[in-house]
Amino acid sequence: MPLSNAQTRDVESVLHPYTNLVKLRETGPLVIERGEGVRVYDDRGKDYIEALAGLWCTALGWGEEALVEAAAGQMRKLAFGHLFAGKSHEPAIALAEKLKEIAPFPVGKVFFANSGSEANDTQIKLFWYAANARGRPARKTIISRTKAYHGVTIAAASLTSLPANHKSFDLPLDFVRFAECPHHYRAAEPDESERDFSSRLAHNLEVLIEKEGADTIAAMIVEPVQGAGGVILPPDGYFAAISRVLERHGIPLIDDEVITGFGRTGNWFGCATYGFQPASMTLAKAMSSAYLPISAVLISPDLSEAIEEESGRIGTFGHGFTYSGHPVAAAVALKTIEIYQERDIVGHVRDMAPRFLARLRKLAEHPLVGEAAGIGLIGAVELVADKATKASFPAGKLVGATIAEFAEAEGVIVRPMLGDRIAVCPPLVIGEAEIDELFDRLGRGLDRGLDWVWREGLMAKQR
């Protein structure tokens, strides 16, 4: 099919993130024209169930008029206001108060940014700043994990541990060390239980800390569920085991809740689902249901105090963004959180999760699927060439990406990721009938993918 006018204009003008730009010239982009509920519609009128909530973010779905009105009302009242040099405004104040109210750990102050990347970049700077304030200038190393995703700015992309985010960008920078990815399906020893696997990873983390020297480590950063790295759920006992190690060495834990925050896992925050308490937290995406860009860093009272004292010594806290706490974005985020509370969105996630997870796990019976796992309303399947041996397809065959295209042709948008994993993360407002339709469409995409795999000779036909 020839490219439409919009597609042609796009490939001549737009530089797309996370895209094979050469291939895009041939295929053109999928041009989305409008959205309603859990569906989006392209410029030819075709509907798609948006099974990744955009980019893990549009929690309330499309067309939420209360958020439109919150933005319009605030724009009429105060379209812009900043937080520099002691200035403030009501939306930023009220949002900071609300975040402190719902946070699952004691929070001293809230810092606002515009994206998860900016917020995690800020986390690094805050822990370095506090280390200097406390007279511990050697504490500059941050421990991340293999297959972590924490953003794409130079510093945040260094915390990220995915090949595409490092290749040709001369990353990562050398302040990061990587602990192991807690993926039981891929990394456990034969017959190793989840708890034994967790204990082994905790032991290896301790070895890493002792090798580096605890007095050189500023913090460790984790996602409760490793999102863009493959929707990797932590094994049983993992966070309890690594928390004990970190506490023993006096190393604070940064909780990146960009994907898992605001109900995604069946609790307000992923750290509550997995039973750990952080020293600071990164929020973004669902904080405004993605209707406007905004993110936040929540920091403990002791960290807040150290930063305040250092700013007094230096004369200023020399960090911030023009749009930190933008009043319109803050007003929309505040209204979003109010909707979560008024409509009991977390309760709705808990109600829908059994149906969602049952349909997801049923996909493990498909000949292409090796693992199918999830929690709340987030999950993934891993495509394998051999279920018994867990043998992967050759990376260059792009099996995951190809099957995601088949799924899209069937009317469901999913996310292919490293290791031929396909993520599903629908808007939190999805209903049971829509869950069934989502997985019916995805199942048809997998069936088309299986036929293609057989034609390509990538898997032997089962008899």
40-92: pLDDT as tens digits: 999 999 999 999 999 999 999 999 999 999 999 999 999 999 999 999 999 99
Angle at 399 between CA 379 and CA 227, to 5 degrees: 30
Distance of alpha carbon 312 from alpha carbon 326, whole angstroms = 25
Angle at 380 between CA 377 and CA 382, to 5 degrees: 170
> DSSP letter string over 379-448?
EEEEE-SBTTTTBPPPGGG-HHHHHHHHHHHTTEE-EEETTTEEEE---TT--HHHHHHHHHHHHHHHHH
Q: Which strands make up the sheet holding 369-375, listed edge to edge?
A: 369-375, 378-383, 421-424, 415-417
Question: What's the pLDDT at 256?
Answer: 98
Contact 131, 142 (CB under 8 A): no
C-alpha closest to that of 55 among 183, 223, 271, 227: 227
- Average pLDDT, integer, range 6-17: 94
Question: What's the pLDDT at 460?
Answer: 80
CATH number for the region 66-342 comes to: 3.40.640.10
Distance of alpha carbon 282 from alpha carbon 269, whole angstroms = 11
Per-residue tokens: 305: 């105090």
Question: What's the pLDDT at 463?
Answer: 52
Count how many Cα atoms sit within 13 Å of the Cα of residue 226 in the half-sphere of its side chain: 27
Give residue 70's Cα distance to chain centre: 25
Output the average pLDDT for the chain: 97
Domain ranges (residues) in the chain: 31-63+344-455, 66-342
Question: What's the pLDDT at 1?
Answer: 74
- Architecture (CATH level 2) of domain 31-63+344-455: Alpha-Beta Complex (3.90)
Among positive and negative, which fits the CA dihedral 90, 95, 98, 103? Answer: negative
Contact 416, 230 (CB under 8 A): no
- Average pLDDT, integer, range 114-127: 98
Distance of alpha carbon 447 from alpha carbon 451, whole angstroms = 6
C-alpha closest to that of 130 among 340, 302, 3, 269: 302
Q: Which residue has the tokens 């032991």?
A: 203
Q: How far lies 286's CA from each of 116, 149, 229, 334, 353, in Å?
A: 11, 17, 19, 11, 18
More confident residue, 460 or 384: 384
Distance of alpha carbon 25 from alpha carbon 2, whole angstroms = 11
Residue 293 has pLDDT above 80, yes or no: yes
* Percent helix, strand and coil across the chain, each to the nearest 5: 45, 15, 40
- Average pLDDT, integer, range 451-457: 95
Per-residue tokens: 335: 């209204």
Contact 34, 41 (CB under 8 A): yes
224-268: pLDDT as tens digits: 999 999 999 999 999 999 999 999 999 999 999 999 999 999 999
Contact 198, 237 (CB under 8 A): yes
Per-residue tokens: 332: 């929309």
What φ, ψ does residue 228 adopt, rounded to 5°?
Answer: -65, -15
Residue 281 has pLDDT above 90, yes or no: yes
Distance of alpha carbon 117 from alpha carbon 332, whole angstroms = 20
Distance of alpha carbon 158 from alpha carbon 107, whole angstroms = 26
- Average pLDDT, integer, range 378-395: 96
Peptide bond into 426 cis (omega under 30): no
299-334: pLDDT as tens digits: 999 999 999 999 999 999 999 999 999 999 999 999
Among positive and negative, which fits the CA dihedral 407, 413, 419, 425? Answer: negative
Distance of alpha carbon 197 from alpha carbon 190, whole angstroms = 10
C-alpha closest to that of 259 among 249, 269, 251: 269
Question: What's the pLDDT at 334?
Answer: 98
